[in-house]
């Protein structure tokens, strides 16, 4: 296992630069992760040696491209412990994956009077597809609320999930508060009422070991770019029997078996859901990112990030001028931490931090219903990944102190 982080940072040349004359401290990993040399090299190699369309050609380049594309599918299968490669669908990302489920399984199985249950902490990608499906089908959309500590209220979940519930859709980890949700318990609850479980794993797969069979989820979605792969590639995992019964999402080349003048038949899994030319290079890059993460070991990735959270979170929660949203216990927290400096707009905070070379996110983080629940318009958000170090944590704390000093007159007014 490659666990020397000083060596690891050398794989990410983008981190070795100055921003506003300060060393770059990249803490916007929940939005997108940086790409190691190994992933960039895999993309370059593909385009320079193997570039061709997949599945359709018998010439050498086409066969090599097809082998690389399907090899990436096998790597994903192993990485999340799917039962077989046919259960792994390549998509544009988690958003595309979740829309696929709503537009196929949802359209075919939701009727007037049915219930769809999600949580109030969902990213818009795991909220709007269900909201709009409920509107189209005259179904009822219900929200699982939060505990005072920013965690999912499982007692509320037990009341919201009923025999009328057909779909439960919840994030594995919050992209705002860093909360890790009890997906296996929610899945069991959903199945006891005859509902399926959809999990948005965009903030989980890059940061912790994920076993879809152990979770027993029916569908699981995630994006490549948050786990050091290229943008524009993602995955939908689905149980074979569900995928086989679902209609295609899009129509065109590759997803067909036979096309006649007035009717068509569909290809077998997984290609039934991969119409047209896919992001072949993106899949190859995703495979390279998985190789990189498996070389590190996902347990090591999780342990390293937890060590940083153990340092950063207590410092933030101890500062009376900073409000932290979500669990304050580092043991129940991912490396995503949302906060505000009291009296300052988060956009001003993010701009001030950028002047110190520290990159964080500011806004509603595509979670406006959660912001409304918290009584907020926006927050700042720092998010950690495997190439971050204690120096990055120290630079963030220093930059926050510099920001508070600069805006001290505003903070005095706020108090």
Structural class in CATH, domain 5-31+297-409: alpha beta
Contacts of 176 (CB under 8 A, 6+ apart): 121, 325, 326, 336, 338, 365, 367, 370, 379, 381
Return the minimum-mean-pLDDT range out of 7-11, 39-43, 176-180, 226-230: 7-11
CA 225, CA 286: separation in Å to the nearest integer? 8
Name the token pair of 106: 């949802």
Q: What is the pLDDT of residues 118-137, one digit of tens each?
A: 999 999 999 999 999 999 99
342 phi, psi to nearest 5 deg: -60, 130
Parse the chain into domains and list their residue ranges: 5-31+297-409, 40-295
Strands of the sheet containing 140-144, edge to edge, are: 88-91, 234-238, 219-223, 196-200, 165-171, 115-119, 140-144
Q: What is the pLDDT of residues 320-365, one digit of tens each?
A: 999 999 999 999 899 999 999 999 999 999 999 999 999 999 999 9
Mean pLDDT of 202-226: 98
Specify the pLDDT at position 365.
97
Instruction: Please answer whether residues 302 and 1 qualify as being in contact, where contact means their C-beta atoms are separated by less than 8 angstroms.
Output: no
Closest CA to 356 of 317, 308, 404, 320: 404
Whole-number percent of the chain with pLDDT over 70: 97
Closest CA to 233 of 275, 285, 274, 290: 285
> For residue 7, what pLDDT band results from cuts at 50, 70 and 90?
confident
> For residue 413, what pLDDT band results from cuts at 50, 70 and 90?
low
Strands of the sheet containing 322-325, edge to edge, are: 322-325, 336-341, 379-383, 361-363
- Give the pTM: 0.96
Mean pLDDT of 174-187: 98
Q: Which residues pair with 215 in a beta bridge?
A: none
Q: What is the pLDDT of residues 267-310, one digit of tens each?
A: 999 999 999 999 999 999 999 999 999 999 999 999 999 999 99
- Using the predicted structure, report yes or no on whether residue 383 has a pLDDT greater than 60: yes
Instruction: Please answer whether residues 327 and 150 qualify as being in contact, where contact means their C-beta atoms are separated by less than 8 angstroms.
Output: yes
- Using the predicted structure, report yes or no on whether residue 386 has a pLDDT greater than 90: yes
362 phi, psi to nearest 5 deg: -140, 135
Specify the pLDDT at position 184.
98
Mean pLDDT of 149-171: 97
Q: Is domain 40-295 classified as CATH 3.40.640.10? A: yes
Q: Do domains 5-31+297-409 and 40-295 have the same CATH topology?
A: no
Nearest 10 degrees: CA dihedral of 99, 102, 103, 108? 170
- Cis upstream peptide for 359 (omega within 30°): no
CA 84, CA 73: separation in Å to the nearest integer? 10
CA 372 to chain centre: 22
199 in active site: no
Mean pLDDT of 96-114: 98
Strands 140-144 and 88-91: unpaired
- Using the predicted structure, report yes or no on whether residue 3 has a pLDDT greater than 80: no
Specify the pLDDT at position 1.
46
Specify the pLDDT at position 56.
81
- Using the predicted structure, report yes or no on whether residue 232 has a pLDDT greater than 60: yes
Catalytic residue among 24, 322, 366, 411: 366
């Amino acid at each position: 296992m490659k666990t020397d982080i000083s060596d690891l940072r050398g794989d990410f040349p983008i981190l070795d630069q100055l921003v506003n004359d300060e060393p770059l401290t990249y803490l916007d990993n929940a939005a997108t992760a940086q790409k190691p040399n190994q992933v960039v090299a895999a993309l370059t190699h593909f385009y320079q040696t193997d570039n061709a369309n997949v599945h359709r050609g018998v010439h050498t380049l086409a066969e090599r491209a097809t082998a690389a594309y399907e090899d990436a599918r096998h790597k994903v299968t192993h990485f999340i412990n799917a039962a077989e490669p046919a259960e792994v669908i390549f998509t544009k990302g988690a958003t595309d994956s979740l829309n696929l489920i709503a537009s196929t399984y949802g359209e075919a199985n939701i009727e007037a009077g049915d219930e769809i249950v999600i949580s109030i902490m969902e990213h818009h990608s795991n909220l709007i597809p269900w909201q709009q499906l409920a509107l189209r089908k005259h179904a009822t959309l219900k929200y699982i609320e939060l505990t005072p500590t920013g965690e999912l209220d499982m007692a509320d979940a037990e009341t919201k999930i009923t025999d009328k519930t057909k779909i439960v859709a919840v994030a594995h980890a919050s992209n705002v508060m860093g909360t890790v949700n009890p997906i296996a318990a929610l899945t069991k609850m959903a199945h006891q009422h005859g509902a399926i479980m959809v999990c948005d794993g965009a903030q989980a797969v890059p940061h912790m070991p994920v076993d879809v069979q152990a979770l027993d989820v029916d569908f699981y979605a995630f994006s490549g770019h948050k786990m050091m792969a290229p943008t524009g590639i993602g995955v939908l995992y689905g149980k074979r029997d569900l995928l086989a019964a679902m209609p295609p999402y899009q129509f065109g080349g590759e997803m067909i078996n036979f096309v006649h003048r007035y009717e068509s038949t569909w290809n077998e899994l997984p290609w039934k859901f991969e119409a047209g030319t896919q992001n072949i290079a993106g899949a190859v890059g995703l495979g390279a990112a998985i190789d990189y993460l498996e070389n590190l070991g996902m347990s090591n990735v999780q342990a390293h990030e937890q060590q940083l959270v153990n340092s950063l979170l207590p410092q933030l929660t101890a500062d009376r001028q900073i409000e932290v949203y979500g669990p304050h216990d580092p043991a129940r927290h991912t490396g995503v931490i949302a906060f505000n400096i009291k009296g300052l707009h988060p956009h001003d905070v993010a701009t001030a931090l950028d002047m110190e070379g520290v990159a964080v996110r500011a806004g509603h983080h595509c979670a406006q219903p959660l912001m409304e629940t918290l009584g907020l318009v926006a927050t700042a958000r720092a998010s950690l990944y495997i190439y971050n170090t204690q120096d990055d944590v120290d630079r963030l704390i220093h930059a926050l102190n510099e920001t508070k000093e600069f805006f001290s007159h505003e903070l005095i007014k706020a108090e």
